[in-house]
Amino acid sequence: MKVAKFGGSSVASAEQIKKVAAIVTADSERKIIVVSAPGKRSSEDTKVTDLLITLGETYLQEGEAEAELQAVVARYEDIAKGLNLGQDIVATIEADLRERLAFDRNRPESLMDLIKASGEDNNAKLIAAYFQSIGLKATYLNPQDAGLLVSNEPGNAQVLPEAFEQLAKLRGSEEIIVFPGFFGYSEDGTLVTFPRGGSDITGSILAAGTKADLYENFTDVDSVFAANPNVVDNPVKIKKMTYREMRELSYAGFSVFHDEALIPAFRNRIPVCVKNTNNPSSSGTMIISEREYFLSPVIGIAADKGFATLYVRKYLMNREIGFGRRLLQILEDEGLSYEHIPSGIDDTSVILRQGQLTSAIEERIVDRIRKELAVDDVNIERDFAMVMIVGEGMHNTVGVSARATAALARANVNIEMINQGSSEVSLVLGIHSEDADRAVRELYHEFFSGADETIE
């Protein structure tokens, strides 16, 4: 049994949804179909999720948003017309949106979750109706009815353990289940969304809950690439990679998945295949527990911008018991998470996502560190990028770090920080954001020059 998730570009129009139907009918094992909200039909288009955010925000500010509501309905009407569906489904979608807008405006976070989730929910209803119209035994299933229980954290829901037991019951369904991505329900019946991009999370949860034999993630690319195609021309395709490699690359900015999206599938050792809705015959990229890595110790290179570095220096810091704990407590008090902590004997650096830092928070942190830890120096620098070299085979390969640093030297890129985790699956290089693309291109040339079009 397979769970297949179709992203926004795969369900953006009637033409794309017809492709989805052809893919589903081509394999009787595709029993659970997870769908996103309609994405962009062209680069100039607007995603339905963005239209819904505008709808919700306008309604919260003005108490009325008829034009914004009609813009959303028009997108679904266009799709329904292209699929030869009647006005009934369009009327159902419009009535659903109006019902959501009647929610308590004094709970803005929950209202916005309701509005945003309608993108996936109504698209699932429409797609199920189309499947039925062409003779498929298909049914729309709401996450609440399926038992997809999540924590009550608007915009940041986490699946609850008991959800998997409920979802296991879906495995025996004889009908094709069309399931909306992106949201679940708390134990008190409140709709709550996952982080944005959460349809991947839904698919992964369903694959884990039903113990699927395969989780297929259909998108608009033939495979995962060894580097960002917008930065490197014609990067090689990756045929197989491990869960850990995918998570490391996703964290570092690979756009195929959010870095936490596949964790439910990973924990249940369910293989994941990335495939192209527009070219379903392509084998795609398999993400598995283990792979033979002796031919390609490095599998990919990625870079992510938007980091800040907190520098702290104090003579004999290494002799001061509890210094690190107290430093991190100050960050915790401000609700900040950190990414890396490279250290020396008299200094330490804490790498954070700079989006967490406001000028007020930054001022408080620096002031507290200076006063409470009696440091010799403390400052925060912004606009760093983290470049990540990833591969399971790196720990058995001599000279990866030397090759990486030599490549960046050739590109005249200064390295501010180097960090290699104990697993040795990744090597992280901190550089200035302005150098990120140049660094990725030079590292790609170093590790993949002369490689075949596809790497195992």
Percent helix, strand and coil across the chain, each rounded to 5?
40, 20, 35
* DSSP 8-state symbol, 225: E
Positive or negative torsion for Cα 432, 435, 441, 445: negative
Q: How far apart are CA 22 and CA 15, in angstroms?
A: 11
Interaxial angle between packed helices 66-82 and 87-101, expressed in degrees from 0 to 180 and rounded to the nearest 10: 150
Residue 120 assigned as binding residue: yes
Q: How far apart are CA 300 and CA 449, in angstroms?
A: 13
Q: How far apart are CA 395 and CA 206, in angstroms?
A: 34
* Cα–chain center distance at 340: 20
CA atoms within 13 A on the CB side of 76: 33
Residue 277 assigned as binding residue: no
Residue 137 assigned as binding residue: no
Residue 323 assigned as binding residue: no
Residue 8 assigned as binding residue: yes
* Cα–chain center distance at 268: 19
What would the two tokens of residue 301 be?
């290179």
**Residue holding tokens 């306008």?**
58
Residue 416 assigned as binding residue: no
Residue 184 assigned as binding residue: no
Angle at 259 between CA 256 and CA 261, to 5 degrees: 80
| Residues in a beta bridge with 157 | none
Nearest CA among 221, 233, 259, 254 for reference residue 448: 233
Nearest CA among 120, 187, 188, 180 for reference residue 149: 187
Classified as helix, coil or strand, 174 is: coil
**Residue holding tokens 């195609």?**
229
Residue 347 assigned as binding residue: no
Output the known binding site.
5-8, 49, 120, 219-220
Output the known binding site for substrate.
49, 120
Output the known binding site for ATP.
5-8, 219-220
